[in-house]
Amino acid sequence: MTSSDRPVTPDATPTALRLLVVGILFALAVSPSVLLVGFLGSGAAAAALAALGLLFVGPAFSAALFALGDKAQDDGLGPAAAFGRGYRLNVVDALTLWVPTVLALAVLAFTVVDAAGTAPAWAVGVAIGIGVLVLLWLVQSTVIASFFAFRARDTARLGLYFLGRLPRSTLVVLVLIVLAAAVGWLMSPALLALLGVLWVAGVLRADRPVLAETRQRFVRGDPA
């Protein structure tokens, strides 16, 4: 076989470099959350504060999604420039979703930990299940907000709509959330931050059908 007859394979180097750079920037952006969790002890108050620390994750997650998305690459943005643009464009929308949700999760975390020794096991389980569902909705809504300029309430509705509309995407993202929680709890939040870009890439891949249907059914013109 001559060199001209060899099959052409895509060069993985640009993708690997983009993941590396975005991963470093993501880890730096969420480092306040990692430091906060590292200094916390145990107990209900610590659980609530750990939940509040997620506020730093929202804009970083949105920026990483944007940087790994097709639009940033089609526009010729380098990974650092794309992450910076994604952060600037999406920080307000991300925080609009994350601030009230994280506050609710902090109250829920405090309640669950405080009542763990006295409340029935089923009640604690239901509360944890509610927390997971809220996180799942938050992740899905943030993915939509990272690529489309909807009003916050419309983004929230779409996030809820797609939980049932595309169950395969929802299930994959749920598995990724549980996996991230396991890594952060059993190993280290710092390790989770360092590997976070792979988690973001997994969420983006799982939610491509969500983005495609959003673009097709709910957008007039180009997405933000």
Q: pLDDT value at position 62? A: 97
- Return the structure tokens found at 149: 């300029």
Query: Does the pLDDT of residue 61 top 90, yes or no?
Result: yes
Q: pLDDT value at position 11? A: 46
- The 10s digit of each residue's pLDDT in 122-138 is 788 888 899 999 999 99
Mean per-residue pLDDT for 143-155? 94
Query: Does the pLDDT of residue 93 top 80, yes or no?
Result: yes
Residue with tokens 């109250």: 107
Is the Cβ–Cβ distance between 173 and 209 less than 8 Å?
A: no
**In terms of pTM, does the model score above 0.85?**
yes
Is the Cβ–Cβ distance between 58 and 93 less than 8 Å?
A: no
Tell me 9's DSSP state: -
With cut-offs at 50, 70 and 90, classify the pLDDT of residue 30. Answer: very high
